[in-house]
Amino acid sequence: MSETNERNADLKALIRTIPDFPKPGIQFRDITTLLLDPAGWATAIERMVEAVSGPVDLVAGIEARGFLFAAALAAPLKAGVLLIRKDGKLPGATIAEDYALEYGTDRIAIHADAFAPGARVLLVDDLIATGGTARAAVRLLHKAGAVVTQAQFLVDLPDLGGAEALRTDGIEATALIHFPGH
């Protein structure tokens, strides 16, 4: 992990930390400052593409910032883009998956006909914390017949265990940058 952080120290320096947001004790990792830097954004995408293992048919992005990463990664990977949306946002027939939040539950969905069974899907998002949404996305993709073996994130908060939970589920989870704490 420290080797990854050292290699990506240039990108880590572009991410602003906002203390006590959205509540006291939280160190919010604001990636918008990296997105505003053309060279930093391009470098982040290049490095994420380099980390992909084998061919993929689709890059699935989790709403909303995951959409940016999915679209940017899909082009050089010669893959399509699959949007994983909050429930109720897609027209037509969908399949959905519920997952637990700190206080309640939420639901994500994809179009029922988004891809043919057996499609190789790379899951991406901007950040992984507890992994609840990412794990629900993997379950949803599996339910639809996808082969999901890897997930990528710009930022991992390893103290919250999300990437490790994905690994326990058999998913190769990687991130360019790791921040301690939450």
pLDDT tens digits, residue range 34-85? 999 999 999 999 999 999 999 999 999 999 999 999 999 999 999 999 999 9
pLDDT of residue 1: 56
E strand map for 33-79: 58-62
Active site residue 135: no
What CA–CA distance (Å, rounded) separates 84 from 96?
9
Helix (H) or strand (E) holding 34: helix 32-35
Does residue 178 surpass a pLDDT of 60?
yes
pLDDT of residue 34: 98
pLDDT of residue 2: 60
Does residue 4 surpass a pLDDT of 80?
no
Catalytic residue among 47, 63, 65, 164: 65
Does residue 3 surpass a pLDDT of 80?
no
pLDDT tens digits, residue range 86-123? 999 999 999 999 998 877 899 999 999 999 999 999 99
pLDDT of residue 6: 86
Q: How far apart, in Å, are the Cα atoms of 119 and each of 49, 54, 90, 104? A: 18, 13, 20, 32
Cα first-last separation, the chain: 17
Catalytic residue among 3, 6, 50, 102: 102
pLDDT of residue 181: 81
Does residue 13 surpass a pLDDT of 60?
yes
What CA–CA distance (Å, rounded) separates 176 from 144?
28
- If you average pLDDT over residues 121-150, what whole number do you get? 97
pLDDT of residue 101: 80
What CA–CA distance (Å, rounded) separates 154 from 10?
13
What CA–CA distance (Å, rounded) separates 51 from 88?
33
Does residue 134 surpass a pLDDT of 90?
yes
Does residue 135 surpass a pLDDT of 80?
yes
Q: How far apart, in Å, are the Cα atoms of 87 and each of 45, 60, 130? A: 28, 16, 20
pTM of the model: 0.95
Q: What percent of the chain has pLDDT over 90?
A: 92
Active site residue 46: no
